[in-house]
Chains A and B, each alone.
Chain A
Amino acid sequence: NAGVTQTPKFQVLKTGQSMTLQCAQDMNHNSMYWYRQDPGMGLRLIYYSASEGTTDKGEVPNGYNVSRLNKREFSLRLESAAPSQTSVYFCASGEYSNQPQHFGDGTRLSIL
Chain B
Amino acid sequence: LAKTTQPISMDSYEGQEVNITCSHNNIATNDYITWYQQFPSQGPRFIIQGYKTKVTNEVASLFIPADRKSSTLSLPRVSLSDTAVYYCRVQGNTGFQKLVFGTGTRLLVSP
Contacts and interface: CB of A to CB of B under 8 A. Distances in A.
Contacts of B41: 106
A90 to B, nearest CB: 5
Nearest to B51: A98
A42 to B, nearest CB: 5
A75 to B, nearest CB: 17
Interface residues of B, number: 26
Interface string A22-46: 0000000000010100000111110
B87 A105 contact: no
B98 A98 contact: yes
A99 interface: yes
Contacts, number: 68
Interface string B99-111: 1111110000000
Contacts of A74: none
Interface size class of A (residues with CB under 8 A): 20 to 34
A58 B99 contact: yes
Contact of A98 (B42, B91, B103): B91
B99 A103 contact: no
B93 interface: yes
B99 A42 contact: no
A98 B92 contact: yes
A103 B44 CA distance: 6
Contacts of B45: 103
Interface string B67-111: 000000000000000000001000111101011111110000000
Contact of A100 (B46, B98, B104): B46
A92 B93 contact: no
Contacts of B36: 101
Contact of B91 (A4, A44, A58, A99): A99
A48 B99 contact: yes
14 contacts: A41-B103, A42-B104, A43-B87, A44-B101, A48-B96, A50-B93, A58-B96, A59-B1, A98-B30, A98-B31, A98-B32, A98-B93, A100-B46, A101-B44
